[in-house]
Structure 1
């Protein structure tokens, strides 16, 4: 034996190129997202489904999901599950990993906040218009 242990504890020699099961699961899900099989906002397979599909333990699946979330590929919605994160579409002239990597989780949150802010501004403008209309109608009646 060469002293290399790959298995229960997930140890491997540095630079061996051997992927651990959680990395295999994460890469499979990344590929589904890159290929369009899973789109932004789509639910990711449940833990039970991934455990069956990859013959993995719940801890292994959880590690894969944690990795995807840390990298910005997935987001959790408490009580609902994990979903594909919204990501920026790269410029057409990019090649390589940068062309398919999602924006980080922060970018997705900023995008969501910007949409919410735009919606709030629209609602405020609508309410302001209603108030002005009510005030002008009330002013005409009072004279």
Structure 2
């Protein structure tokens, strides 16, 4: 049985997605303050490297944000946030995040048998509440795309492969100082108690 690969590094995820998905991802970041209003957005080349997409796709996504008035192009300085997008409902945010994560899983951005990104990293990227993110992850787990490993994280699954069997998490019996279990030590003391009681009933001294 092959060992589980190490957790992904902190390098940005490379995804194959449409420009609409990138537009939604950037809109979510702007909405939740990932890009400061007083500083320019990352340039096209940097965003293309982050998402693993051609610069043309990033440019199309930025142009869509500019057309809706969310960002504006300041000549010689770059793209800046012009206004915040309309607030998302919890349902809309969950739909946006689920679409992006499913797209990445389908295209192998998160390979099978590797660790799924940590919750803190996804919260920073998508700018949603923990409630929204946990609901999305629960859907991915129920759909057989992820498996939860207690106290460690989540592993990407092959949806066509077998589901892993959960491990037995029951604790072993507590050991006493002598190295035997507490239950066994208790049973060993019971006969002594009986002998003491029988001695008292017959009037004999036990000393």
TM-score, with structure 2 as normaliser:
0.35
Q: Which is bigger in relative contact order (C-alpha 8 A, separation at least 6)?
A: 2
Structure with the higher fraction of residues in helix conformation: 1
Bigger radius of gyration among the two: 2
